[in-house]
Structure formats: structure tokens, C-alpha cells
Amino acid sequence: MSKAPLAPAGILESALYAEDLAAAEAFYAGIMGLEKIVAVESRHVFFRCGDGVLLIFDPRATVEAPSNPDMPVPPHGAHGPGHLCFRADAAAIAQWADHLRANDVVIEADFHWPNGARSIYFRDPAGNSIEFAEPSIWGLS
């Protein structure tokens, strides 16, 4: 009898990359309303988001090996725009669409998936594709 594979309980942190961390901080704290946890100039800014964490790294810094032996995080990173989707119900998506437009954030797409769930897409200052969607797009509640 084989054992069922382990499965993660959820995603703890997600990472996006932005060379202009000040613009990212202004956007995610100011417009998106996320609580800043910590920032290290020219390296990263981290935000609390529900029960998870959004990490914004300068991609030029994270490819460097760490200089602190007490923090042996391997070099990592990505180049070019990434994607992140925030969970929201239909009423919240309507509120977010109004809020984003009021803050001169262009909504690139606003549509309903074949199952009726709604998504809106827009860009952060680094060009990352950001989405708000109803969890039912993935059969979640």
C-alpha cells in the first residue's frame, strides 16, 4: 500500500520583482492598502496580505549571494513582469475597480469567466500583471 503524497497547507509568501522599490512601496502600501512589514533599501520591501506575505524584490539584488551567513537564502529571482492574483468576492471586486480607477490605475481587463466568476487585471508600477478574482474561478469558495 502506497502512502498519499504530502501536500502543502497553503502558500505563505509570493514574490514579485521591481527595480523601483520606492514606487512599489507607494503602490502596495498606498493604493493597495497593504501593511509594510520591513524594507531593506535597494533589496526588498515586504507586505502583510491576509494570512500571507507579499515579497517585492529588486531583481538585481536577489541574484547576489547573501553576505550574512546567518541568513543563507540562496540567490533567486525573475526578470520581466510577473503575475499575482488577489482573492475577492464580487462586491469587493466592484469596489476595487472603482478605487483603482479613482487612483488613475488603468484596468486592462474586466470580465466574467465561463463559470460566471469575475476578474479584473491591472499593472503595478513595475509592469507586473495584478488581478483580483473571485475564488470560484478555481472552484474554491
pLDDT tens per residue, range 83-100: 999 999 999 999 999 999
- What 3-state DSSP class applies to 96? helix
Answer yes or no: is pLDDT of 1 > 70: no
- What 3-state DSSP class applies to 8? coil
Residue 127 pLDDT class (50, 70, 90 cuts): very high
pLDDT, residue 99, reads 97
Residue 131 contacts residue 87 (beta carbons within 8 Å): no
Angle, vertex CA 7, rays to CA 6 and CA 9, nearest 5: 130
Measured CA to CA, the distance from residue 110 to residue 131 in angstroms comes to 10
Angle, vertex CA 84, rays to CA 129 and CA 82, nearest 5: 55
pLDDT in tens, 8-66: 898 999 999 999 999 999 999 999 999 999 999 999 999 999 999 999 999 999 988 87
pLDDT, residue 125, reads 98
pLDDT, residue 8, reads 87
pLDDT, residue 115, reads 95
Q: What are the structural domain ranges in the chain? A: 13-60+79-138
The pTM score is 0.92
Picking from 42, 38, 49, 7, the residue whose alpha carbon sits closest to that of residue 22 is 42
Answer yes or no: is pLDDT of 5 > 90: no
Answer yes or no: is pLDDT of 3 > 90: no
Looking at the structure, give the CATH architecture of the domain made up of residues 13-60+79-138. Answer: Roll (3.10)
Q: Cα dist. 22→38, 41, 108 in Å?
A: 13, 9, 23
pLDDT, residue 65, reads 82
Answer yes or no: is pLDDT of 2 > 80: no
Sheet of strand 35-40: strand arrangement = 13-17, 52-57, 44-49, 35-40
| Mean pLDDT across the chain | 94
pLDDT, residue 75, reads 86
Q: Cα dist. 125→26, 31, 71, 104, 106 in Å?
A: 9, 11, 29, 12, 11
